[in-house]
Structure 1
């Protein structure tokens, strides 16, 4: 998966595109926030910050306790937020593709209401959550994997692991063959 052509026909080095994304951009899409800046303020302030930002929906792509963000549905039980959790490991052999369509559906339903604000996160916001958001752009916004990566990298730094990139490429081929984009 060294290179791929975008919809415009430009040959893109996918690895380079991912690495050159900007770490200073906060927004990926309207209503999307970067978790690591919130976490840097301390976990005790996390709930207050989410309320202050008006976040209504959360997709945690690192649910669990080992090498993950231990903020499952119970953590938000006293808050008026809709929660979707994915128990995923950030390793190349993990099958994240099993969550592509359900996560895309959750993101699409959330963003269909302009009043909603969605937080999609994992531990660092660069691999698991980025991969699920890329899948959303491909499935729901009809973007190729390269177009989705370019869209997100213009807004923030992402570094999906090689296994997730391979699964996204397979999704791209699957979507292409079913719709002949």
Structure 2
């Protein structure tokens, strides 16, 4: 895990060489528990439906938008949720960090894992790997 994290940070690991198994190993590392909501990027939260259904909690967090697939303004505080807040919502946030902030998949995973335990399912990981490869082809990052 540490060698993958360090190598990725130094751009020494190409995502084409990382398998879903490698990514699962990274995801298993670190804390393995989650809160109902965590701020994983400035003004960007991942959480579960209990928070999504609690207007007072959203208000306390300063959340102005709940992700519904539409792109919001960058100055808004956005809460991304799914049923448990570890797979589907995490995948959406990872894709966002990759597309808008030019993170590699591994860098995005490590960034989010600094603040929240996530575990996208293998199907989402395959899609994120494909996105990572496509972004590298088109942008050269």
> SS of the counterpart of 1:120?
strand
The RMSD of aligned alpha carbons is 2.7
> SS of the counterpart of 1:27?
strand
Offset of residue 172 of structure 1: 0.6
Bigger Rg, which one: 1
Confirm or deny: 8 A CA contact 1:21 1:156 kept in the other structure: no
Could you report, residue by residue, the CA deviation over 1:110-169 in whole angstroms, capped at 9, with x for unpaired residues? Answer: 3x21xx221010011110010011000110110111111111111111110001000000
Alpha-carbon spacing, 1:124–1:163, altered in 2? closer, same or farther (3 Å)? same
**Alignment partner of 1:51 is 2:59:** yes
Offset of residue 57 of structure 1: 0.6
**Alignment partner of 1:15 is 2:15:** no
Which residue in the other structure is 1:140 paired with? 100
Q: How does 1:18-29 map to 2 (within 5 A)?
A: 18-22=27-31, 23=33, 26-29=38-41
Alpha-carbon spacing, 1:21–1:131, altered in 2? closer, same or farther (3 Å)? farther
Which one of 84, 91, 108 corresponds to residue 131 of structure 1? 91
Structure 1, 6-15 or 139-148: larger mean CA deviation: 6-15
5+ residue gaps, structure 1: 60-83, 86-102
State the alpha-carbon separation in 2 of the partners of residues 127 and 144 from structure 1. Answer: 18
Confirm or deny: 8 A CA contact 2:39 2:45 kept in the other structure: yes
Confirm or deny: 8 A CA contact 2:46 2:89 kept in the other structure: no
State the alpha-carbon separation in 1 of the partners of residues 44 and 140 from structure 2. Answer: 30
Alpha-carbon spacing, 1:170–1:34, altered in 2? closer, same or farther (3 Å)? closer
Offset of residue 179 of structure 1: 1.4
Normalised TM-score (structure 1):
0.61
Give the structure with the larger helix fraction. Answer: 2
5+ residue gaps, structure 2: none
